[in-house]
Each structure stands twice: as C-alpha cells, then as structure tokens.
Amino acid sequence: MANPVIGLSCYRTHGTMTIYDGELASLPGQYLDSVTRSGATAVLLPPQPLDAPQAREVMSRLDGLLLTGGSDIDPARYSQELSARHEGFDTLRDASEDALLTAALEADLPILGICRGAQMLNVHLGGTLHQHLPDVVGHDRYRKPGHSFTPEPISIEPGSMLQDALGGDVEVNGPVQHHQAIDQLAPGLVISARGGDGVVQAVEWPEKDFCLAVQWHPEEDASDDRLVRALVRQASTHT
C-alpha cells in the first residue's frame, strides 16, 4: 500500500537561499521529519490564491491535512479590532488555509492543527482568540524572552480523541511558544486539554473521524511522534 500523502501548510517569508534573496515558501524541517518518520509523504502547501474548486482539487490529491504554526491571524476574521499587541498577519496565508480547511472538512479528511493551526481551526468554525495572552493570564511562560520553546505541563481530558492519539496518557509536557490562544470556542469543537492556568491547549471535533488541534509544538520533540502518527494512521484509511 502506498504511503499516505499529508499536505502541510507553510510560510511565505523573506529569506536567502543560494543566489536568491527574497520571499520564500518555507517550513521548519521538524514538521517534515515527523511526517516522514510516521510513514507518510509530506507535500508543502504554500500560501496562494485558492477558490473553492481549486481547494477541493488540492484536497482530492491528499490523504490528510496538517495546519502548521506561524504568525497571528487577522482579527477581522473573528470580528475584532486589531490590538496594539498583535504581531502581524499574512492575509494570503489566512485565506489560503481557510479555503483548504473548508475543502478538507467537506471531504472529511483527517486534520491535525499545531499552534496557529489550532487557532485557525477555531476561527474558521466561528470561534475567537485572545490577541495577547499575557494580558489575560498575567504571565509570559508561553512566550519567553528570545522566543524559545518552553516545556509546559498539559492536562488531557480522559476519553478524548487526544488521549486516544497519545495512547492513554492524560498529561504531556508540551513545548509551547505562542502569545495568542483560543478564547471563545467555536460551535462543534470541544476542549480536550488545558494548561495549568486554564489556557486551552487542545481542541477536537467529535463528529469527525479525526479533527484534532493542539496549541503546543509536538514536532519539536523528535522522540515523540504520537500525534503525527495518529494523523497518518487515519490518513492511511483514506488512500
């Protein structure tokens, strides 16, 4: 049986490569490594204009979708004014991922969101975000100086899709790095994990076979591919 093909959203950002100095479509290699270690083939989905038929065509070639981390989301998408603490957004990426999510959900493809991916899923389905989490929780553990990843104990709901994906664990020490988080939960989603301060750290859609999103960065721990393996296992039933 052929390896399932997982599409990964990615960045368009300024960078240099050989003779090129300009905008690149790129993604940290940790995401690709986790997907390939888990037995799938990774395909990058750069931000680009996509109408509904084009997005459906892209999804028809894939077996699963992984929405990766990245910059903030335009608050206009969840009917809020831009906060002074907002760190910038990419309208093209927002629109591209929104179109891909619509098509993936219509096709009932397995979906895993990571960090921004969790926020994008919530916003796509009608939820909102805290635009600057330290103003809400009174600490900056999720975004330390230097923008490094920080371990954070995360408590998981028993019986959740997330617990099943992790093989029964009810706690995980997730590497976190974010200054935004889910505020109002979108209709249909349920919370499957929180941090010790109550911050939403994972959500899922129980009506779907596999629609799960976490606020932490599992790809940063090369010794633990359980979440990505769960996505790949579900995607293998789609090939």
Q: Which of 10, 115, 179, 204 is catalytic?
A: 115
- Examine the residue annotation and report whether 115 is marked as an active-site residue of this protein: yes
Would residue 87 show up in a list of annotated catalytic residues for this protein?
A: no
88 within 8 A of 72, measured Cβ to Cβ: yes
- The Cα 83–Cα 91 span in angstroms is 16
| Given the residues 97, 152, 219, 220, the one annotated as active site | 219
Q: Which residues 6+ apart lie within 8 Å of 211 measured at CB?
A: 105, 110, 111, 121, 204, 205
Angle (deg, nearest 10), helices 91-106 and 52-60: 60
From the candidates 124, 178, 179, 217, give the one annotated as an active-site residue.
217
Among left, alpha and beta (phi > 0; psi -120 to 50; other), residue 18 is left
Q: Is 219 a catalytic residue?
A: yes
> CB–CB of 239/2 below 8 Å?
yes
- The residues that are catalytic are 115, 217, 219
